[in-house]
Structure 1
Amino acid sequence: MIIKRKYDPEFDKYVPLEEWLRFPRGEIKETPEFFGDYRDNLVRCADERLKLARWLTWNVQTPKIENESATGLRYASKMYASFLKLAQYPEQEQTFRIYDLPEVKWNGKGMLEAGRAAPSKWIEAYFLAVITRDTESMDSLANFPVETMKKSATQAGPVSYKLVEVFQAYHHSKADYPKLLDECMGMAVKQNDDWAIYIAFGYLETLAALSPATFDVGCDFNEALAKNVQAQERYHINEAGPDHAPVDSFLPLQLLGMACMWHDMGNEVTVECDSLPRFLIEGTYFK
């Protein structure tokens, strides 16, 4: 099942691909020198690596490019998880060592007051951990209290918090997972805006298809994945508007993460799309 992306960056006509890659590569190169001062910018630092991986999906997927993308995502996963761990225990000084970056000691004071624990960031963090097979970060995030998240100065709608509850319930194989998923689907339908229908409901439908014996969505996993990759690209194209690139659609973390889950269960991912790189689905650089 081959899916072609609708968006065309037109690199020859507008900004060359190398220009899009240049800034995040420069930021990544400088990280070790300034990492001790990165506490408040840890998510931005992770986002640069994620942005790089997204633009790299438009490059020829040589082993060198694949490794660059995978390496960036590995670091981003740890950065995201570390940031949210700081927000979970704001008064506690914690030591972090992210691969070969300098060891740092930080606390999370002021993070909730600054609105740094939004559910959207948790969801990105969790699925980055899924993609990179970072079980330590997955477990840490799966135990992040939603009530703590609700204390963040940056607030979100009820569907966003319920999504976190659903993903955490799935992670822990909780008995109430189907009930929570059904409730969240109903909430998304009731909210009835583009984000709720094309993004939130798309996550839930694809997640439900991972365990058809538990929840029947009327299609198999690959059909749900293909449908929602296309629906979410359309959403991001519309959201970005004609003057901006729909960068989030280049690597849809949540759907890609579920494709990784499906693969790791021993199933075949038959959907072929440049936004779902095969080396990430197969975990080639994370073994």
Structure 2
Amino acid sequence: MLNRNYTPNFKNVSLERRLLTSRSRIDRCSINIIKNRDNLLRYAQEYINFSRWLTWEVQTPEIEKESAAGLRYASKMYAAFLKLAEQPEQEQTFKIYDLPVVTWNGKGMLENGYAAPSEWIDAYFLAVITRDTESMDSLANFPIETMKQSATQAGPVSYKLVEVFQAYHHHQADYPKLLDECMGMAVKQNDDWAIYIAFGYLETLAALSPATFDVGCDFNEALAKNLQAQERYHIYEAGPDHAPVDSFLPIQLLGMACMWHDMGNEVTVESDSLPRFLINGTYFK
């Protein structure tokens, strides 16, 4: 069992209060989702953070179902939001489970900095976790050139990561070459994000295909190593006054654990940050 290096201080704000606040916001989703296009993104992120804090709760079947349901909504919302950015001028209608039907266009989204690589990567692996193949396929076809038109610009490694993940999804023949190139770019960039986050993603992804790549360890070893490394990165990044919330549920590494499981392999890494019910897809079948 890999214990977390960080434990939230619930003395000032209790876990119960945090979850109550999130549930109150989520309860208004059906009202607010029709008011503003950007609420698709805001509520997707609200659901994700809610599930992250739920990892500190006792994992009863009720808590598991609540977390899984929230991630299912978040996956559809994220994919819908980025679909609007892909075709800004086009009116599109979405029906997300029991939420009201909404019709929006994506005008102004790229100018306002949406569709950054980090958003795409979160959205794609959220779809992987929830086994949302429709959203995965949609995101896998998102043009990287459109992403580069966003006012929020990222470094070359970020865009290359998207290219690698899309190549993996489509089983492209040049996937190994792209992954190797991206690894080299991350090493050359040589900052904490590139080494601990980007390279960690790539190393874990490479371990999914041991016949293609030899990263010096098997998948579970790569997963455990990068789970710990990325928690340390998020703790440092958050600083002493903020909780490293992203580390509570590391969407990308968790998504790759789901991939490994769905390929018929055993995920042996035990951690509260990798909920077993999400790896197994218990509520997504």
TM-score (norm 1): 0.98
- Does the residue aligned with 1:105 lie in a helix, a strand or coil? strand
**What fraction of aligned residue pairs are identical, expressed as a percent?**
80
Aligned residue number for residue 5 of structure 2? 6
- Does the residue aligned with 2:272 lie in a helix, a strand or coil? coil
**CA contact 2:85–2:109 (8 Å) conserved in 1:** yes
2:130 aligned to which of 121, 132, 136: 132
Q: How does 1:215-230 map to 2 (within 5 A)?
A: 215-230=213-228
1:158 aligned to which of 126, 143, 156: 156
Aligned residue number for residue 246 of structure 1? 244
| Aligned-pair CA distance for 1:22 | 2.0
- CA–CA separation in structure 2 for the residues paired with 1:40 and 1:64: 30
2:279 aligned to which of 272, 278, 281: 281
| Aligned-pair CA distance for 1:27 | 1.1
- CA–CA separation in structure 2 for the residues paired with 1:158 and 1:214: 24
- CA–CA separation in structure 2 for the residues paired with 1:282 and 1:64: 16
Q: Extract unaligned runs of 5+ from structure 1.
A: none
Aligned residue number for residue 41 of structure 1? 39
Q: Extract unaligned runs of 5+ from structure 2.
A: none
| Aligned-pair CA distance for 1:23 | 2.1
- Does the residue aligned with 1:83 lie in a helix, a strand or coil? helix
- CA–CA separation in structure 2 for the residues paired with 1:9 and 1:110: 38
Aligned residue number for residue 79 of structure 1? 77
The answer to whether the aligner puts 1:90 opposite 2:107 as a matched pair is no
| Aligned-pair CA distance for 1:24 | 1.6
- Does the residue aligned with 1:167 lie in a helix, a strand or coil? helix
2:50 partner amino acid: L
Aligned residue number for residue 270 of structure 1? 268
Aligned residue number for residue 51 of structure 1? 49
Q: How does 1:93-132 map to 2 (within 5 A)?
A: 93-132=91-130
Deviating more after overlay: 46-55 vs 15-24 = 15-24
| Aligned-pair CA distance for 1:239 | 0.3
| Aligned-pair CA distance for 1:26 | 1.1
Q: How does 1:206-221 map to 2 (within 5 A)?
A: 206-221=204-219
Aligned residues: 285
RMSD: 0.7
- Does the residue aligned with 2:93 lie in a helix, a strand or coil? strand
**CA contact 2:204–2:222 (8 Å) conserved in 1:** yes
Consecutive aligned runs of 4 or more in structure 1 exceeding 3 Å deviation: none
1:201 partner amino acid: F
TM-score (norm 2): 0.99
Q: How does 1:55-74 map to 2 (within 5 A)?
A: 55-74=53-72
